[in-house]
Amino acid sequence: MRYSNYLKSTLIICILSLFSINTHALRKIGLDHEEIYFWEYWRVDNGTYHHEAIILNPTQQDAHYEIVGNSTINKKYSFNIKGGDYQIISNFDNLIKEVPRGLITFTRDDRNIGLYNIYPMGSTYPLGWLPKAIFKKGILSNRILNTGQPQEFILHYKKRNFKKKRMQKAYISFEKKFIDGGFRHKQYYLNETTDYNLTKHFGIKISAHKDYSLYFKPISRQGQINLLFRLPTYERSQLVNRTLSYTRKVKNRGALEILIPRGINFCDKYKIISL
Q: Tell me the whole-structure pTM to 2 decimals.
A: 0.83
Contact 263, 162 (CB under 8 A): yes
| Whether the predicted pLDDT of 124 surpasses 50 | no
* Whole-number Å distance between alpha carbons of 175 and 161: 28
pLDDT at 71: 55
| Whether the predicted pLDDT of 184 surpasses 90 | no
| Whether the predicted pLDDT of 4 surpasses 60 | no
Q: Residue 122 — pLDDT band, cuts 50, 70, 90?
A: low
Interval 18-35 mean pLDDT: 66
Q: Residue 15 — pLDDT band, cuts 50, 70, 90?
A: very low
| Whether the predicted pLDDT of 19 surpasses 50 | no
User: E strands of 69-211, at which residues?
Assistant: 77-81, 86-89, 102-108, 111-118, 137-143, 150-157, 161-162, 167-174, 180-184, 195-202, 204-207
Handedness of CA 239, 240, 244, 245 (dihedral sign): positive
* Dmax (CA) of the chain: 80
* Whole-number Å distance between alpha carbons of 44 and 200: 22
* Whole-number Å distance between alpha carbons of 63 and 86: 11
199-252 pLDDT, tens digit per residue, is 999 999 999 999 898 999 999 988 999 999 988 776 677 898 888 999 988 888
Q: Which residues pair with 98 in a beta bridge?
A: none
Q: 176 φ, ψ to 5°?
A: -75, 150
* Whole-number Å distance between alpha carbons of 179 and 270: 44
pLDDT at 14: 47
Residues 6+ apart with CB under 8 A from 231: 165, 166, 167, 168, 194, 240, 260, 262
Contact 230, 167 (CB under 8 A): yes
Among the ranges given (17-31, 64-78, 155-169, 235-249), the one the predictor scored with the smallest mean pLDDT: 17-31
Strand pairing report for 223-230 and 167-174: antiparallel
Closest among 157, 183, 163, 192 to 255, alpha carbons compared = 183
Q: Residue 146 — pLDDT band, cuts 50, 70, 90?
A: very high
